[in-house]
């Protein structure tokens, strides 16, 4: 007897699983297929000895009451998970800038460390205005690209008539705006913005859309949280609730094909066939393409072609170390830029994230888990022999540790765990093609009105995930999941 569901969700990462939680809590009979043995995808975790490491995302964005994360938990009737809100130090080649969460402190810091001329003040005033309006719109159910008159109405309503003049910036890059204020040669300001933009929008100041960049560079203000117990605890919290409210979770089930059969979709997995009235695929769009019928392939093809060149990946070093190696600093998160002139990535722009002192899920007492992450290009890791791969992996691992020693001079001296994750690691564990992680690098050509929509015009089938609008990160996972679930509820 083939099992039948209202809505099947492909992928148990943050996008797919949040979608399933929303729909299950509204009374739909849902099922999640996750190919890996555990949930989380690029925001997942792995354990080794008594340590647990966040494999990709270490921080959850806008996880505050009335924020995107807060609204999600309110919608599913669960309390926000507990965690520490993060402020961190940006280590520029010639100065340190503390990225405070509190707006007044951040305002003072940016003027003191990055310049307080009229042009700086006017630039920050515009940034503040744009981020306030568009963060509110993100929390208030904005939907892009516009697919119907109703979507247009929602966009107008969430932005507000009085702020509509800001929409003109949808066609500007960050560099356009810096030029407007004659700040395009201001190295420290550009250095800081570039590292934050690469980290959040995966793009550069000359290509990243201004509004997306402004949102990306202010995620701390919105509420950047590392959950107590890291991603391991976070996923345990979510999955316990999903099972409690009757959801069906199939871990280790890889979807290999699906097709329409009368009123249902028939879904073939490596472990059997299932039926569902509706489907939401939260897989990257090229993975959905590989398993979908030709009607969906035709719709996805143009989006895949458009975004092919906007993909990138990451390298992460995981260390289990004694706490004494990090006792010289109060902040547990840092971002380092080594050089203003060199291309970002491969250590030049590296994020350090360390588990909290009392977090005994991430590390045994007296120890902590450390994640050092940086961006890289996919092409650098393709077509390597096994020996070349191992050498490259060791070299970049050592480079990241050396870079982190700018902040923690003794880091890794007595590491009990040392692992390096590369694009090939992501490919293996999340199935992402060539290890392409995060969403697409955002440009004027593929973001916002040009982004991949959740509704591609196929009956009873929708997309979610960081390949769809708004793209990138956990906040995008929650927003895309909200939009897809609203379609599926009808
Ligand atoms: C190093 C790094 C650091 C990051 N840091 C942050 C951060 O601090 N904050 C933040 O917000 N974001 C961060 N991100 C980005 C964030 O992790 C991702 O954008 C987000 O987790 C993507 O979630 P997703 O659900 O869209 O996709 P995925 O996490 O890729 O989920 C898709 C799931 O589908 C499964 N799957 C694949 N194929 C199949 C199939 N055929 N059948 C069934 N299941 C399948 C995969 O195993 C996977 O679990 C980071 C990413 C990386 C790599």
Residue nearest to atom 16 of ligand 1 (CA): 473
Residue nearest to atom 14 of ligand 1 (CA): 57
Out of 41, 54, 200, 464, give the residue to mutate to test ligand 1, the one with the largest number of ligand atoms within 8 Å of its CB.
41
Rounded-to-10 torsion of CA 417, 335, 187, 441: 90
Closest ligand 1 atom, residue 55 Cα: 1
Query: Is 2.60.40 the CATH number for 312-435?
Result: no
CA of 398 to the centre of ligand 1 (A): 26
Nearest to 327 by CA among 402, 414, 400, 397: 414
CA of 343 to the centre of ligand 1 (A): 25
Predicted confidence (pLDDT) per residue in 246-255, tens digit: 999 999 999 9
CA of 350 to the centre of ligand 1 (A): 19
Cβ atoms of residues 110 and 97 within 8 Å? yes
What pLDDT is stored for residue 2 in this prediction?
A: 81
Closest ligand 1 atom, residue 253 Cα: 43
What pLDDT is stored for residue 221 in this prediction?
A: 87
Out of 11, 267, 333, 422, give the residue to mutate to test ligand 1, the one with the largest number of ligand atoms within 8 Å of its CB.
11
Q: Which fold has domain 3-43+71-79+228-309+440-489?
A: FAD/NAD(P)-binding domain (3.50.50)
Closest ligand 1 atom, residue 269 Cα: 42
Nearest to 345 by CA among 317, 367, 377, 368: 377
Residue nearest to atom 31 of ligand 1 (CA): 13
Closest ligand 1 atom, residue 437 Cα: 53
Closest ligand 1 atom, residue 315 Cα: 1
Nearest to 128 by CA among 152, 110, 113, 153: 110
CA of 361 to the centre of ligand 1 (A): 21
CA of 489 to the centre of ligand 1 (A): 24
For Cα atoms 350, 199, 88, give the angle at the middle one, nearest 5 degrees: 65
Nearest to 27 by CA among 485, 443, 380: 485
What pLDDT is stored for residue 417 in this prediction?
A: 98
Q: In the numeric block, which tokens belong to residue 296?
A: 């969906």
What pLDDT is stored for residue 286 in this prediction?
A: 98
Closest ligand 1 atom, residue 480 Cα: 26
What pLDDT is stored for residue 300 in this prediction?
A: 98
What are the extents of the domains in the chain? 3-43+71-79+228-309+440-489, 102-221, 312-435
Nearest to 276 by CA among 27, 28, 465: 28
CA of 431 to the centre of ligand 1 (A): 10
CA of 213 to the centre of ligand 1 (A): 21
Closest ligand 1 atom, residue 291 Cα: 41
Residue nearest to atom 47 of ligand 1 (CA): 430
Stretches in the chain below the pLDDT threshold 50: none
- Using CA atoms, how far apart are residues 483 and 72, in angstroms rounded to an integer? 12
What pLDDT is stored for residue 143 in this prediction?
A: 87
pTM score of the predicted model: 0.97
Question: Which residues form ligand 1's pocket by a CB distance below 6 Å?
Answer: 10-16, 33-36, 41-43, 56-59, 61, 254-255, 282-283, 287, 291, 314, 316, 373, 430-432, 437-439, 465-466, 472-475, 477
What pLDDT is stored for residue 403 in this prediction?
A: 98
């Amino acid at each position: 007897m083939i099992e039948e569901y209202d809505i099947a969700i492909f992928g148990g990462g943050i996008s797919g699983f949040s979608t399933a939680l929303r729909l299950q809590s509204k009374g739909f009979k849902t099922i999640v297929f996750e190919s890996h043995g555990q949930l989380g995808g690029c925001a997942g975790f792995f354990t080794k000895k008594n340590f647990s490491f966040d494999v990709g995302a270490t921080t959850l964005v806008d996880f505050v009451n009335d924020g995107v994360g807060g609204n999600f938990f309110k919608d599913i009737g669960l309390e926000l998970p507990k965690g520490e809100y993060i402020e961190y130090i940006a280590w520029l080649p010639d100065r340190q800038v503390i990225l405070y969460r509190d707006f007044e402190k951040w305002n003072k810091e940016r003027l003191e460390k990055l310049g307080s001329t009229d042009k700086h003040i006017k630039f920050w005033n515009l940034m503040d205005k744009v981020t306030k309006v568009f963060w509110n719109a993100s929390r208030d159910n904005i939907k892009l690209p516009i697919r119907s008159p109703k979507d247009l109405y929602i966009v107008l309503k969430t932005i507000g008539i009085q702020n509509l003049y800001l929409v003109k910036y949808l066609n500007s890059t960050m560099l356009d705006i810096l030029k407007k204020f004659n700040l395009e040669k201001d190295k420290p300001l550009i250095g800081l913005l570039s590292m934050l933009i690469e980290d959040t929008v995966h793009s550069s100041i000359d290509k990243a859309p201004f509004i997306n960049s402004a949102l990306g560079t202010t995620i701390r203000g919105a509420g950047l949280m590392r959950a107590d117990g890291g991603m391991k605890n976070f996923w345990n919290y979510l999955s316990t609730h999903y099972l409690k409210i009757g959801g069906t979770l199939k871990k280790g089930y890889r979807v290999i094909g699906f097709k329409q059969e009368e009123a249902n979709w028939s879904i073939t997995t490596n472990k059997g066939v299932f039926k569902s009235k509706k489907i939401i695929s939260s897989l990257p769009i090229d993975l959905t393409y590989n398993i979908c019928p030709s009607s969906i392939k035709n719709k996805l093809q143009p989006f895949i072609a458009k975004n092919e060149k906007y993909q990138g990946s990451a390298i992460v070093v995981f260390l289990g170390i004694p706490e004494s190696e990090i006792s010289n600093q109060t902040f547990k998160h840092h971002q380092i830029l080594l050089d203003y002139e060199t291309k970002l990535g491969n250590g030049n722009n590296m994020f350090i994230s360390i588990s909290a002192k009392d977090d005994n899920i991430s590390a045994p007492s007296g120890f902590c888990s450390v994640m050092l992450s940086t961006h890289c290009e996919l092409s650098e890791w393709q077509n390597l022999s096994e020996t070349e791969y191992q050498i490259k992996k060791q070299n970049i691992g050592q480079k990241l540790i050396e870079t982190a020693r700018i902040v923690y001079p003794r880091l890794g001296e007595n590491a009990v765990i040392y692992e390096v994750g590369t694009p090939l690691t992501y490919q293996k564990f999340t199935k992402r093609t060539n290890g392409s992680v995060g969403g697409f690098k955002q440009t004027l050509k593929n973001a916002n009105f040009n982004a991949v929509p959740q509704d591609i015009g196929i009956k009873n089938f929708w997309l979610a995930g960081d390949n769809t609008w708004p793209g990138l990160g956990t906040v995008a996972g929650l927003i895309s999941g909200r939009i897809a679930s609203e379609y599926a509820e009808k």
